[in-house]
Amino acid sequence: MTQFDHNEIVQSAIFEKGQLIGLMNFEQGHLSQSLLLNSQGELVYRFIRHMRTVNWLYSMGKTSKLNFSNQVPDEDSPNNRVVYRASEKKPFYEVVDHVSYHRLGDLYEFYAMVLRSFDQSGCQLFVDLDDNPDLVTHMPQQLIFNY
């Protein structure tokens, strides 16, 4: 079920098997927050969208396959390495756990918490190259592969 105001989405309810499991709130056509509910309809997690300027500085081998490695590098360095710099406004999601009242810094910290809840003994995780730099900081002891 979705609510509109002057042809602009304001709120959307998410149902699974006839039960409300989530709400998404929108501002100016963009998702502003999502609420994840438990089977009793109680709030479990709140995902709050914020915007920030992100600056990147990557120093890597010329053979790297990260999504921006086809750009012209800012500088060449010895040892067959290149340096890439980028800056852009990007959304990020703060996550609030309403059961333990713990505030998670970002969505990747939430992903790491969920992944740690599974028995990972003898397992390897595949993480997309675009997500790897953000997720690996929250799981430093976990073997992650992306090939």
pLDDT in tens, 55-64: 877 777 766 6
SS3 23: strand
The residue ranking higher by pLDDT, 78 or 117, is 117
What gap in Å lies between CA 132 and CA 146, rounded to an integer?
8
pLDDT in tens, 70-105: 555 555 556 667 777 778 898 889 999 999 999 998
Q: Which residues contact 53 (CB under 8 A, 6 or more apart)?
A: 87, 88, 89, 90
Q: What is the pLDDT of residues 118-132, one digit of tens each?
A: 877 777 778 788 888
Average pLDDT over residues 128-140: 81
pLDDT at 43: 96
Q: What is the per-residue pLDDT for 141?
A: 75
